[in-house]
């Protein structure tokens, strides 16, 4: 467990250095620990080290962790593909959803968000490199989708998310430009989040304006398949 503490310190140091190089405030960048396929014990250890934001891809696994750790101050982020039959559980258990890519899903999340909970914070997932194997909205369709989702009352739309192609592209720069363009085109009250960058490329993402970096391997090591 001491090793996990060291890894958390190392990742935070990378974020601080990247922010400094980009002339940004490190406090404006959230570290999202991607805890899919990781044990409750490992998540609890990071919580004890002060980590508050955790991202999960698989709903049933996530709910088990959320219920086991319900005595902890944690913000849970759903970052995986969303099936329509899973929206009720996502709307009930999570604080953030990064992977909204169609209006139907947003409407279901909105309608199924429990009344006693605050609005669900979401990001629109953008298929920035037009890959057939990835979910996400075509960049040209983002503004139209945002206009429709902005009408929903139990959702707060905060920004955009992407998973770029593995081969080097200028995806982060294009995402930064898209984020600004949509914000300039539409008056969105909470438009403040760019969720991009992972263990291998968080520095590049921060340089391009990322506000949430999603880090798994650098914190937990290689996960079980």
pLDDT of residue 209: 98
Would you list the domain boundaries of the chain? Answer: 2-219
Cα–Cα distance, 38 to 55 (Å, whole number): 11
| Long-range interactions of 66-71: CB distance < 8 A, separation 24+ | 66/93, 68/40, 69/40, 69/43, 69/44
pLDDT of residue 168: 67
pLDDT in tens, 162-181: 999 876 679 999 999 999 99
pLDDT of residue 105: 98
**Tokens linked to 120:** 């669900």
Cα–Cα distance, 172 to 197 (Å, whole number): 8
Partnered with residue 214 across adjacent β-strands are 32
> Hey, what CATH class is 2-219 in?
alpha beta
pLDDT of residue 2: 60
pLDDT of residue 166: 75
Mean pLDDT in order along the chain per 10 residues (225 residues):
85 98 98 96 96 97 97 96 96 98 98 98 96 92 96 97 84 97 92 96 97 96 67
Full-model pTM: 0.96
Cα–Cα distance, 87 to 59 (Å, whole number): 10
pLDDT of residue 187: 86
């Amino acid at each position: 467990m001491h090793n996990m503490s060291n890894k958390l310190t190392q990742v935070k140091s990378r974020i601080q250095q990247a922010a400094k190089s980009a002339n940004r405030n490190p406090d404006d960048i959230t570290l999202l620990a991607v805890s899919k396929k990781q044990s409750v014990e490992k998540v609890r250890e990071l919580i004890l080290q002060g980590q508050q934001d955790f991202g999960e891809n698989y709903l049933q696994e996530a709910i088990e962790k959320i219920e086991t750790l319900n005595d902890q101050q944690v913000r849970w982020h759903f970052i995986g593909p969303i099936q329509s039959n899973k929206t009720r559980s996502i709307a009930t258990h999570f604080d953030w959803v990064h992977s909204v890519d169609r209006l139907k899903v947003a409407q279901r999340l909105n309608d199924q968000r429990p009344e006693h909970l605050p609005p669900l914070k979401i990001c629109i997932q953008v298929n920035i490199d037009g890959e057939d194997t990835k979910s996400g909205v075509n960049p040209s369709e983002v503004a139209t989708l945002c206009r429709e989702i902005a009408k929903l009352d139990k959702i707060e739309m905060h920004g955009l998310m992407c998973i770029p192609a593995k081969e080097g592209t200028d995806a982060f720069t294009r995402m930064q430009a898209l984020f600004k363009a949509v914000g300039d085109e539409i008056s969105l009250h909470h438009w403040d989040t760019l969720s991009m960058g992972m263990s291998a490329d968080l520095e590049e993402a921060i340089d391009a304006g990322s506000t949430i970096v999603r880090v798994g391997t650098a914190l937990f090591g290689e996960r079980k398949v």
